[in-house]
Homo-oligomer: A and B are copies of this chain.
Amino acid sequence: MLLMVPGPTNVPPRIMEALLKPIINHRGPEFHELYRGLLENLRYAFQTKNDVFPITCSGTGGVEFAVGNVVSRGDKVIVPVSGLFGERLREEIVRFGGIPIEIKSEWGSTCTVEDVKAVLDVEKDVKAVAIVYNETSTGVTLRDLPKIGELTKKHDILLIVDAVSALLGDYLPVDEWNIDVCVAGSQKCFACPPGLAMVSVSEKAYEAAEKNRFRPFYHDLLMWREFKQKLETPFTPVIPLYYALDESLKMLKEEGLENRIRRHKVCSEAFYKAFEEMGLSIVAQEKFRSNTVIVPYLPAGIDDQKFRKILREKHRVVVAGGTGKLRGKTFRIGNMGMVSKPEVLRTVKGIVKTLEELGYNSKLKSKELILKVEEILSQL
Protein backbone atom coordinates (compact mmCIF):
# COMPACT_ATOMS: atom_id res chain seq x y z
CA MET A 1 0.00 0.00 0.00
CA LEU A 2 1.40 3.38 -1.01
CA LEU A 3 0.57 6.02 1.56
CA MET A 4 0.16 9.41 -0.13
CA VAL A 5 -1.81 11.30 2.52
CA PRO A 6 -0.47 14.58 3.90
CA GLY A 7 1.10 12.78 6.84
CA PRO A 8 1.75 10.20 8.05
CA THR A 9 3.87 9.39 5.04
CA ASN A 10 5.75 6.27 3.95
CA VAL A 11 8.67 5.60 6.26
CA PRO A 12 11.81 4.11 4.67
CA PRO A 13 13.16 0.86 6.19
CA ARG A 14 16.28 2.57 7.57
CA ILE A 15 14.10 4.79 9.72
CA MET A 16 11.68 2.02 10.70
CA GLU A 17 14.55 -0.17 11.83
CA ALA A 18 15.84 2.62 14.06
CA LEU A 19 12.66 2.16 16.13
CA LEU A 20 14.09 -1.13 17.35
CA LYS A 21 17.17 0.32 19.04
CA PRO A 22 17.30 -0.47 22.76
CA ILE A 23 15.09 1.44 25.16
CA ILE A 24 17.38 3.49 27.38
CA ASN A 25 17.16 5.51 30.56
CA HIS A 26 16.33 9.08 29.53
CA ARG A 27 18.48 10.29 32.42
CA GLY A 28 21.58 8.34 31.39
CA PRO A 29 24.69 8.81 29.21
CA GLU A 30 23.42 7.06 26.05
CA PHE A 31 20.47 9.39 26.01
CA HIS A 32 22.68 12.46 26.43
CA GLU A 33 24.61 11.42 23.33
CA LEU A 34 21.43 10.83 21.30
CA TYR A 35 19.94 14.15 22.36
CA ARG A 36 23.14 16.06 21.62
CA GLY A 37 23.06 14.79 18.03
CA LEU A 38 19.38 15.61 17.61
CA LEU A 39 19.83 19.18 18.84
CA GLU A 40 22.73 19.71 16.47
CA ASN A 41 21.16 18.18 13.37
CA LEU A 42 17.80 19.85 13.91
CA ARG A 43 19.61 23.19 13.61
CA TYR A 44 20.71 22.11 10.14
CA ALA A 45 17.17 21.13 9.14
CA PHE A 46 15.75 24.44 10.36
CA GLN A 47 18.69 26.53 9.05
CA THR A 48 18.99 28.19 12.42
CA LYS A 49 21.37 28.88 15.28
CA ASN A 50 18.41 28.74 17.66
CA ASP A 51 17.45 25.84 19.88
CA VAL A 52 15.14 23.31 18.24
CA PHE A 53 13.33 20.93 20.62
CA PRO A 54 11.80 17.57 19.65
CA ILE A 55 8.60 17.33 21.68
CA THR A 56 6.46 14.24 22.25
CA CYS A 57 3.14 15.26 20.70
CA SER A 58 1.46 15.78 17.33
CA GLY A 59 2.02 18.79 15.07
CA THR A 60 -0.93 20.54 16.71
CA GLY A 61 0.73 19.87 20.06
CA GLY A 62 3.81 21.63 18.67
CA VAL A 63 1.69 24.61 17.67
CA GLU A 64 0.31 24.64 21.22
CA PHE A 65 3.90 24.71 22.53
CA ALA A 66 4.66 27.64 20.22
CA VAL A 67 1.59 29.69 21.06
CA GLY A 68 1.30 28.80 24.75
CA ASN A 69 4.78 29.95 25.67
CA VAL A 70 4.81 33.33 23.97
CA VAL A 71 1.15 34.37 23.77
CA SER A 72 -0.38 35.31 27.09
CA ARG A 73 -3.72 36.67 28.28
CA GLY A 74 -4.70 39.84 26.48
CA ASP A 75 -1.96 39.65 23.83
CA LYS A 76 -2.98 40.75 20.34
CA VAL A 77 -1.89 38.34 17.62
CA ILE A 78 -2.36 38.80 13.89
CA VAL A 79 -3.41 35.49 12.32
CA PRO A 80 -4.17 34.89 8.63
CA VAL A 81 -6.91 32.29 8.18
CA SER A 82 -7.80 30.58 4.91
CA GLY A 83 -8.19 26.97 5.88
CA LEU A 84 -8.64 24.47 8.68
CA PHE A 85 -5.17 24.80 10.17
CA GLY A 86 -5.41 28.59 10.20
CA GLU A 87 -8.63 28.14 12.16
CA ARG A 88 -6.85 25.82 14.57
CA LEU A 89 -4.03 28.31 15.06
CA ARG A 90 -6.59 31.02 15.74
CA GLU A 91 -8.29 28.75 18.30
CA GLU A 92 -4.96 28.06 20.06
CA ILE A 93 -4.50 31.82 20.49
CA VAL A 94 -7.98 32.11 21.99
CA ARG A 95 -7.40 29.19 24.38
CA PHE A 96 -4.36 30.91 25.86
CA GLY A 97 -6.31 34.12 26.35
CA GLY A 98 -4.81 35.95 23.37
CA ILE A 99 -6.83 38.26 21.13
CA PRO A 100 -6.64 37.07 17.52
CA ILE A 101 -6.75 39.74 14.81
CA GLU A 102 -7.85 37.63 11.89
CA ILE A 103 -6.93 38.24 8.25
CA LYS A 104 -9.40 36.14 6.30
CA SER A 105 -8.85 34.99 2.74
CA GLU A 106 -10.79 32.67 0.50
CA TRP A 107 -9.81 29.01 0.75
CA GLY A 108 -7.32 28.57 -2.11
CA SER A 109 -5.85 31.99 -1.57
CA THR A 110 -3.89 33.43 1.35
CA CYS A 111 -2.80 36.75 2.75
CA THR A 112 0.02 38.98 1.50
CA VAL A 113 2.53 41.19 3.25
CA GLU A 114 0.34 44.19 2.41
CA ASP A 115 -2.56 42.68 4.36
CA VAL A 116 -0.37 42.28 7.42
CA LYS A 117 1.08 45.76 6.99
CA ALA A 118 -2.41 47.24 6.78
CA VAL A 119 -3.33 45.70 10.14
CA LEU A 120 -0.07 46.82 11.75
CA ASP A 121 -0.70 50.38 10.55
CA VAL A 122 -3.97 50.47 12.47
CA GLU A 123 -3.58 48.19 15.49
CA LYS A 124 -1.46 49.21 18.47
CA ASP A 125 0.47 46.84 20.75
CA VAL A 126 0.45 43.78 18.53
CA LYS A 127 2.53 41.08 20.21
CA ALA A 128 2.99 38.65 17.34
CA VAL A 129 2.08 37.48 13.88
CA ALA A 130 1.16 33.77 13.77
CA ILE A 131 1.12 32.08 10.40
CA VAL A 132 0.36 28.71 8.86
CA TYR A 133 3.04 28.56 6.20
CA ASN A 134 1.56 25.62 4.35
CA GLU A 135 -2.20 25.13 4.71
CA THR A 136 -2.76 21.37 4.58
CA SER A 137 -6.50 21.69 3.98
CA THR A 138 -6.11 23.70 0.75
CA GLY A 139 -2.55 23.08 -0.50
CA VAL A 140 -1.70 26.78 -0.23
CA THR A 141 1.69 28.17 0.79
CA LEU A 142 1.93 31.69 2.17
CA ARG A 143 4.61 32.90 -0.23
CA ASP A 144 5.01 36.33 1.38
CA LEU A 145 6.40 34.82 4.58
CA PRO A 146 9.93 36.24 4.12
CA LYS A 147 8.54 39.73 3.54
CA ILE A 148 6.33 39.36 6.62
CA GLY A 149 9.48 38.36 8.52
CA GLU A 150 11.11 41.63 7.52
CA LEU A 151 8.03 43.46 8.72
CA THR A 152 7.86 41.74 12.12
CA LYS A 153 11.57 42.39 12.58
CA LYS A 154 11.07 46.09 11.80
CA HIS A 155 8.17 46.31 14.25
CA ASP A 156 10.06 44.22 16.82
CA ILE A 157 7.19 41.76 17.22
CA LEU A 158 7.26 37.99 17.26
CA LEU A 159 6.80 35.75 14.23
CA ILE A 160 5.33 32.31 14.92
CA VAL A 161 5.18 29.87 11.99
CA ASP A 162 3.31 26.58 11.74
CA ALA A 163 5.46 24.83 9.12
CA VAL A 164 4.34 21.34 10.14
CA SER A 165 3.55 20.17 6.61
CA ALA A 166 6.27 22.16 4.81
CA LEU A 167 9.63 22.06 6.55
CA LEU A 168 12.21 20.18 4.40
CA GLY A 169 9.69 20.11 1.55
CA ASP A 170 9.94 23.80 0.79
CA TYR A 171 12.45 26.56 1.34
CA LEU A 172 12.26 27.84 4.92
CA PRO A 173 15.45 29.33 6.36
CA VAL A 174 14.37 30.16 9.90
CA ASP A 175 17.08 32.69 10.78
CA GLU A 176 17.25 34.41 7.40
CA TRP A 177 13.47 34.93 7.48
CA ASN A 178 13.46 36.14 11.11
CA ILE A 179 11.18 33.39 12.39
CA ASP A 180 11.03 33.33 16.19
CA VAL A 181 9.14 30.09 16.65
CA CYS A 182 8.88 27.51 13.88
CA VAL A 183 7.02 24.20 14.20
CA ALA A 184 7.62 21.03 12.15
CA GLY A 185 6.22 17.50 12.39
CA SER A 186 8.01 14.15 12.28
CA GLN A 187 5.43 12.44 10.05
CA LYS A 188 5.69 14.91 7.18
CA CYS A 189 8.82 15.70 5.15
CA PHE A 190 11.08 14.09 7.78
CA ALA A 191 9.58 10.73 6.73
CA CYS A 192 9.38 9.51 10.32
CA PRO A 193 6.38 7.96 12.02
CA PRO A 194 4.11 10.47 13.79
CA GLY A 195 4.80 11.30 17.42
CA LEU A 196 7.14 14.29 17.47
CA ALA A 197 6.80 18.00 16.85
CA MET A 198 10.02 19.96 16.47
CA VAL A 199 9.98 23.59 17.55
CA SER A 200 12.68 26.24 17.09
CA VAL A 201 12.92 29.10 19.56
CA SER A 202 14.67 32.47 19.17
CA GLU A 203 16.07 34.63 21.98
CA LYS A 204 13.11 36.98 21.53
CA ALA A 205 10.76 34.02 22.05
CA TYR A 206 12.61 33.02 25.23
CA GLU A 207 12.20 36.57 26.52
CA ALA A 208 8.48 36.46 25.80
CA ALA A 209 8.18 33.13 27.63
CA GLU A 210 10.04 34.55 30.65
CA LYS A 211 7.47 37.32 30.93
CA ASN A 212 4.54 34.92 30.48
CA ARG A 213 3.16 33.82 33.86
CA PHE A 214 0.63 31.47 32.27
CA ARG A 215 2.89 29.09 30.37
CA PRO A 216 1.63 25.52 29.99
CA PHE A 217 3.40 22.94 32.15
CA TYR A 218 3.98 19.92 29.89
CA HIS A 219 4.95 22.39 27.18
CA ASP A 220 6.92 24.78 29.37
CA LEU A 221 9.67 26.16 27.15
CA LEU A 222 11.77 27.36 30.09
CA MET A 223 11.94 23.83 31.47
CA TRP A 224 13.14 22.62 28.07
CA ARG A 225 15.89 25.25 28.17
CA GLU A 226 16.83 24.34 31.74
CA PHE A 227 17.00 20.59 31.08
CA LYS A 228 18.98 21.17 27.88
CA GLN A 229 21.93 22.15 30.08
CA LYS A 230 22.31 18.50 31.10
CA LEU A 231 21.24 17.19 27.67
CA GLU A 232 17.92 15.95 28.99
CA THR A 233 14.24 16.64 28.39
CA PRO A 234 11.89 17.75 31.18
CA PHE A 235 9.64 14.70 30.73
CA THR A 236 10.15 11.19 29.41
CA PRO A 237 10.35 11.47 25.61
CA VAL A 238 9.13 8.93 23.04
CA ILE A 239 12.52 7.25 22.71
CA PRO A 240 11.83 5.10 19.59
CA LEU A 241 10.84 8.26 17.72
CA TYR A 242 14.00 10.00 18.89
CA TYR A 243 15.98 7.20 17.24
CA ALA A 244 13.86 7.51 14.10
CA LEU A 245 14.39 11.27 13.95
CA ASP A 246 18.11 10.76 14.48
CA GLU A 247 18.23 8.44 11.48
CA SER A 248 16.03 10.76 9.43
CA LEU A 249 18.36 13.70 10.10
CA LYS A 250 21.38 11.62 9.09
CA MET A 251 19.61 10.78 5.82
CA LEU A 252 18.80 14.46 5.35
CA LYS A 253 22.45 15.40 5.70
CA GLU A 254 23.45 12.67 3.24
CA GLU A 255 20.95 13.95 0.68
CA GLY A 256 21.54 17.60 1.46
CA LEU A 257 18.83 20.08 2.39
CA GLU A 258 18.81 21.78 -1.03
CA ASN A 259 18.35 18.43 -2.77
CA ARG A 260 15.59 17.40 -0.40
CA ILE A 261 13.65 20.58 -1.12
CA ARG A 262 14.30 20.36 -4.87
CA ARG A 263 13.05 16.76 -4.94
CA HIS A 264 9.77 17.85 -3.36
CA LYS A 265 9.52 20.75 -5.80
CA VAL A 266 10.05 18.56 -8.88
CA CYS A 267 7.60 15.91 -7.69
CA SER A 268 4.97 18.56 -6.99
CA GLU A 269 5.46 19.99 -10.50
CA ALA A 270 4.89 16.53 -11.90
CA PHE A 271 1.66 16.21 -9.95
CA TYR A 272 0.41 19.64 -11.00
CA LYS A 273 1.20 18.83 -14.63
CA ALA A 274 -0.63 15.52 -14.37
CA PHE A 275 -3.78 17.15 -12.99
CA GLU A 276 -3.65 19.86 -15.63
CA GLU A 277 -3.55 17.20 -18.34
CA MET A 278 -6.33 15.26 -16.65
CA GLY A 279 -8.39 18.44 -16.68
CA LEU A 280 -8.71 18.70 -12.91
CA SER A 281 -8.49 22.16 -11.42
CA ILE A 282 -6.45 22.89 -8.31
CA VAL A 283 -7.83 24.56 -5.19
CA ALA A 284 -4.73 26.72 -4.67
CA GLN A 285 -4.18 29.73 -6.89
CA GLU A 286 -1.12 29.08 -9.03
CA LYS A 287 1.16 31.55 -7.26
CA PHE A 288 0.39 29.96 -3.87
CA ARG A 289 0.71 26.30 -4.84
CA SER A 290 2.25 24.05 -2.21
CA ASN A 291 5.24 21.77 -2.81
CA THR A 292 3.98 19.24 -0.31
CA VAL A 293 0.18 19.12 -0.32
CA ILE A 294 -1.63 18.95 -3.64
CA VAL A 295 -5.38 19.50 -3.57
CA PRO A 296 -7.28 19.01 -6.85
CA TYR A 297 -11.04 19.30 -7.24
CA LEU A 298 -12.77 16.07 -8.21
CA PRO A 299 -14.37 16.19 -11.66
CA ALA A 300 -18.11 16.88 -11.61
CA GLY A 301 -20.13 13.75 -10.92
CA ILE A 302 -17.29 11.73 -9.39
CA ASP A 303 -18.13 10.48 -5.91
CA ASP A 304 -15.33 11.06 -3.41
CA GLN A 305 -15.92 7.88 -1.41
CA LYS A 306 -16.05 5.64 -4.49
CA PHE A 307 -13.01 7.33 -6.00
CA ARG A 308 -10.82 6.80 -2.94
CA LYS A 309 -12.12 3.28 -2.37
CA ILE A 310 -11.20 2.10 -5.88
CA LEU A 311 -7.86 3.92 -5.78
CA ARG A 312 -7.11 2.28 -2.49
CA GLU A 313 -8.43 -1.24 -2.97
CA LYS A 314 -7.64 -1.79 -6.61
CA HIS A 315 -4.58 0.38 -7.18
CA ARG A 316 -3.22 0.28 -3.62
CA VAL A 317 -2.72 4.02 -3.29
CA VAL A 318 -4.10 5.93 -0.31
CA VAL A 319 -4.85 9.62 -0.71
CA ALA A 320 -6.76 11.80 1.76
CA GLY A 321 -10.24 13.21 1.34
CA GLY A 322 -11.04 16.88 1.33
CA THR A 323 -11.47 18.51 4.70
CA GLY A 324 -13.64 21.24 6.20
CA LYS A 325 -15.72 22.97 3.55
CA LEU A 326 -13.86 21.07 0.80
CA ARG A 327 -15.02 17.67 2.05
CA GLY A 328 -16.43 15.57 -0.78
CA LYS A 329 -15.31 18.03 -3.46
CA THR A 330 -11.55 17.54 -3.39
CA PHE A 331 -8.92 15.00 -2.53
CA ARG A 332 -5.50 15.65 -1.06
CA ILE A 333 -2.09 14.22 -1.89
CA GLY A 334 0.80 14.33 0.54
CA ASN A 335 3.96 14.82 -1.51
CA MET A 336 6.29 14.38 1.40
CA GLY A 337 9.32 12.67 2.81
CA MET A 338 10.89 10.00 0.64
CA VAL A 339 8.61 10.72 -2.31
CA SER A 340 10.29 10.35 -5.69
CA LYS A 341 9.72 9.15 -9.25
CA PRO A 342 8.14 5.74 -8.50
CA GLU A 343 5.70 7.12 -5.92
CA VAL A 344 4.57 9.95 -8.18
CA LEU A 345 4.11 7.70 -11.21
CA ARG A 346 2.25 5.04 -9.29
CA THR A 347 -0.06 7.63 -7.77
CA VAL A 348 -0.74 9.40 -11.07
CA LYS A 349 -1.39 6.13 -12.92
CA GLY A 350 -3.70 4.95 -10.15
CA ILE A 351 -5.71 8.16 -10.26
CA VAL A 352 -6.00 8.17 -14.07
CA LYS A 353 -7.24 4.58 -14.07
CA THR A 354 -9.64 5.11 -11.18
CA LEU A 355 -11.18 8.13 -12.90
CA GLU A 356 -11.52 6.12 -16.13
CA GLU A 357 -13.23 3.34 -14.22
CA LEU A 358 -15.68 5.90 -12.89
CA GLY A 359 -16.39 7.14 -16.43
CA TYR A 360 -14.19 10.23 -16.49
CA ASN A 361 -11.62 10.56 -19.25
CA SER A 362 -8.58 12.79 -18.98
CA LYS A 363 -7.95 15.48 -21.57
CA LEU A 364 -4.79 13.72 -22.68
CA LYS A 365 -4.64 10.00 -23.37
CA SER A 366 -3.12 8.28 -20.39
CA LYS A 367 0.09 7.22 -22.18
CA GLU A 368 0.86 10.74 -23.35
CA LEU A 369 0.01 12.11 -19.93
CA ILE A 370 2.46 9.76 -18.26
CA LEU A 371 5.16 10.77 -20.75
CA LYS A 372 4.71 14.42 -19.78
CA VAL A 373 4.93 13.54 -16.09
CA GLU A 374 8.03 11.43 -16.70
CA GLU A 375 9.65 14.31 -18.52
CA ILE A 376 9.35 16.51 -15.46
CA LEU A 377 10.51 13.73 -13.16
CA SER A 378 13.60 13.19 -15.32
CA GLN A 379 15.04 16.27 -13.59
CA LEU A 380 15.55 14.09 -10.50
Contacts and interface: CB of A to CB of B under 8 A. Distances in A.
Interface of A: 1, 3, 5, 7-11, 16-17, 19-20, 22-28, 56-61, 64, 88, 91-92, 95, 185, 187, 193-195, 214-218, 234-241, 318, 320-321
B20 A3 contact: no
Given A217-B64, A218-B61, A8 B26 contact: yes
A162 to B, nearest CB: 13
Contacts of A58: 56, 218, 235-237
Contacts of A215: 95
Nearest to A30: B1
A19 B20 CA distance: 8
A238 B240 CA distance: 10
Given A235-B60, A236-B8, A3 B19 contact: no
Contacts of A194: 23, 26, 56, 236-239
A57 B60 contact: no
A56 B3 contact: no
Contact of A195 (B64, B95, B218, B240): B240
Contacts of A318: 25, 28
Among A27, A61, A235, A236: residue with most chain B CB under 10 A = A236
B23 A95 contact: no
A286 to B, nearest CB: 28
A88 B20 CA distance: 32
A92 B218 CA distance: 9
